[in-house]
Structures are given as C-alpha cells and as structure tokens.
Amino acid sequence: MAVRTFIEAVREAMAQEMRRDASVIVLGEDVGKKGGVFLATDGLWAEFGDDRVIDTPLTESMIVGTSIGAALNGLRPIAEIQFADFIFPAFNQLVSEAARMRYRTMGASSVPMVVRAPYGGGVHGAMYHSQSIEAFFTHVPGLKTVVPSTPYDAKGLLVASIRDEDPVLFLEHKKLYRSVRGDVPGREYTVPIGRAVVRRPGSRLTVVAYGLMVHYALEAAERVADEGIDCEVIDLRTLRPLDRETLLGSVRKTGKCLVAYEDNRFGGYGAEIAAIVAEEAFDYLDGPVSRIAGPDSPAMPYNHILEDWFMLNPAKIADAIRKLAAY
C-alpha cells in the first residue's frame, strides 16, 4: 500500500496492465516520449516502446476509429483524448460503431477498448478545456461510462475497464489529478464497474454525486452536520451501468434526494437520476427530488470570478441541502 495522487493511480493501472497483458496498447496525442499533457502516460514509452505507446496526429476521429479496429483484431487499446472537450470529432465512432458493435453482430464481435478523457472545470481552462461531456454518452446503450473520484477507485476501475469486453469511456476530472491523494495497493485489484458506494452514511437526506462533486458534497455534508442535517453521500462511480439498488436504497431510507453535478443543468445526467428516483421511490419521498448543477451557459468563462459563478462548490451544495432539508 502506498499513498498516490489520482494521476499516479491512473498511470499505475496502465503500466500494470501493460506488463500483464501484451495486447494492451496506449495511443493518443503526445502520449509517447512527452508522457501526455498531464503526464498520465509518463514513463510508459520508455518501458514499452513505440509499438505499444503510440503518438498519433491531432485527429480524435482517427484515435478512436483506429482503436476500434485494433480492438476488433485482438488488441486492448487505451485511447487518450487529450481533453474531453475534443472528443466530439470521434462521436460517430464511439456512438455508431464501438457502442453498437456487439448488437449489430449478434454478439459475435466486441470492442474491448477504453477511451480516457480528462473533463471538468475549475482549472481556468475556459471554453475548450472545461466541459463535462457525460450526458452525451450515457444516453447510448452499449457504452459504459466510468467516473472515479479517488485514487483507489481510479486504479481499480481503470483496470476493470481495460479488462472489460466492451467499450468504456473513462472520465477523469482534471482538478482531482494532483489535489487528491489516497492509499492505493501495489497489487493487482479491480473495482467492479456498475457499483456505487456510500461515502458518508446519513439518515435525513441523500446527496448523489460523482467525480469532483463527491468531494464537494462530502465537505458540504460536514458543514450542515452541525445544524442537525445528517446527509448520506452516494458516489456513483459508474454512470452507466447505474447502481440503482444503492441509489434507491439510500433515498428510500432518507426520504429526500439532491443530485449534484457540474454540467449544465438542463438535460444533464442528474436529470436521469431525478427521474429514476421520482419513478421508483416516489412513495418514500418527503420532498421534491432536487438538482444543483452548472448554469445553462454555453461555456465556462476563463475569468476567475465568472468561473466561480459557473462552478459548484461546497457552500453552494450546503445551501441546496439546507433548502431541501427544510421542505
């Protein structure tokens, strides 16, 4: 067991799986000698060489399309999209090809590939380096979407994703890369895809979050605890497949549900959580299913004050908790 940052855990997962399985390759922009813009692949090129750590042109459609072809021919690609904001040129490859391959071949073919993408704001990335993209892709059956919040889960879920027989979109919040540290076993282990976890038990109100928002929700829960509001915080970890059992079990216990997500509020992933809770736990609710999210602004501003206006934070989440608890 060693203390690792989030980015170190991601790197450790890839290195471990590349040593274990010669079919695992990494490809993307600057992932080779440079080690990626966030240094997620630092050291992999020196250990595994050009054949397995492949620098690509600045063409996301090619990165994902090539990965699909490689996966169909016996390899297990880990494709890095330098920033999630740039994934849209590869939308067709992910949605129309990778996600539907098992269905269109009646199970004869699968696409065991991972697409890693740093997402999210609060890092002064402005318009093209701050987007949250999860809602676009969780809509698509056949594509798994994983969003870890801790170094332990980052390693365990990435290993599980690499070993999965179907395509996985693995979203990493940029602000977590070096701000969060935690114990990570050096041994091989996996965290199962599709299982949420209760990060903080509580009895009065459920807060549902993922990625960076888990940490903000936990801090908010501690703030309101002194006011007698006992919150349970659920870390979804996997957005699709969703762990309905943990989600609904918590809401049925507490009677109130707040969903916190960074993306634009309208049509965001939290809307799906709210719908599921309203449909399947209505008789247990003691208040409206509530959401706190980013504003419906086309992009996150660069200006520090406006970026703070866009982003959620523990204080904003705590205020939303107080409002729902008082209903």
Note if 215 is an active site residue. Answer: no
DSSP designation for 23: T
Per-residue tokens: 224:
């309101």
- Catalytic hit among 124, 129, 139, 215: 129
CA distance 132 to 64: 19
Q: Is 291 left (phi over 0), alpha (psi -120 to 50) or beta?
A: beta
Residue 52, classed as helix, strand or coil, is coil
Per-residue tokens: 251:
């809401």
Is the Cβ–Cβ distance between 269 and 135 less than 8 Å?
yes
Instruction: Please list the alpha-helical segments (H only) found in 121-264.
Output: 134-138, 151-163, 212-225, 244-254
Per-residue tokens: 11:
């790197």
Catalytic residues: 129
